[in-house]
Structure 1
Amino acid sequence: MSQSRRETGDRRRIATLAVVVADYDEAIAWYTGKLGFSLLEDVPLGEDKRWVTVSPGKGGARLLLAKAADANQRAAVGKQAGGRVFLFLETDDFARDHAAMLAAGVDFREEPRREAYGTVAVFGDLYGNLWDLIEPVKTTEE
């Protein structure tokens, strides 16, 4: 099936990832204020439920901020990857974005470091989910 998909030119991508949050408005404020994301959608769905999406820019996946609705979901807030890095925010200018995020009060858990794949530093979101801010190594194909 995957070969026939390639032959027909069909493309698939991950467009939206759900992040379980405790509160819509505080999550919107954090992602837009601290990370500089854009609020794309905030649509009321009834009964304290909303369709809220944010994005760091064009061309990548967006985040659906999904408010925890029960005790099981509330227990997952901030622990969606079991303590591992959950999401990877790529940048074309690590120094610029790292400085801006520090100035906005983002909680970096380590100093920036250079790896074979790029410059990276781990930070926590407002609930404790871990992220990498990463500037990938430029390849000759870019």
Structure 2
Amino acid sequence: MTLVVRDYDEAIAFHRDVLGFELREDTRIDDDTRWVAVSPPGAREAALLLARAATGGREDRIGDPTGGRVGWFPTPDACERDHARMPAAGVVFEEASRREPYGTVAVFRDLHGNRWDPLKLHRPGGTGR
């Protein structure tokens, strides 16, 4: 998946230091473009491409690539811990975490305004992960 960002280094720092993602690749393509991929810890097949809005028209996609809907649903192992830790790192949660039939959710916005909903999925029968 691709996420349009203002600045590569700012986006890398947020995803690595705040969300706990791992930097998978950071390759310079030319003077203006880099191939930057991050992923949740331990993920082998999924990655997020951080693409800088380098040309006109892309800037308006920063922070709203999904038309205001939540676009990313990481499934952290420690949802409650992250919900307590992330505000100190500048993450703004739109709501307190809440329990739904499928899992525990808590929507937040990243440094660009994109909406994320880390899910702690419940096993059938509601026993948690």
**TM-score w.r.t. structure 2 length?**
0.90
Task: Specify every segment of 5 or more residues in structure 2 that has no aligned partner in the other structure, as ranges.
Answer: none
Find the residue that maps to 2:119 and give its secondary structure. strand
Q: Does 1:21 align with 2:5?
A: yes
- Equivalent residue pairs, number: 125
Shift of 1:33: 1.4
1:82-97 mapped onto 2 (5 Å cutoff): 82-97=67-82
Which residue pairs with 2:112 in the alignment?
Answer: 127
2: CA distance, partners of 1:130 / 1:67: 18
Q: Does 1:81 align with 2:66?
A: yes
Residue pair 2:32, 2:54 contacting (<8 A) in 1 also: no
2: CA distance, partners of 1:93 / 1:33: 16
1: CA distance, partners of 2:74 / 2:87: 15
Shift of 1:41: 0.6
Identity %: 50
Shift of 1:93: 2.4
Q: Does 1:101 align with 2:73?
A: no
Which residue pairs with 1:71 in the alignment?
Answer: 56
Shift of 1:134: 1.0
Which residue pairs with 1:51 in the alignment?
Answer: 35
* Deviations 1:50-101, CA, capped at 9 Å, x for gaps: 0001111223521100011212111101010111101101122221221222
Find the residue that maps to 2:38 and give its secondary structure. strand
Q: Which has the higher strand share?
A: 1
Greater C-alpha radius of gyration: 1
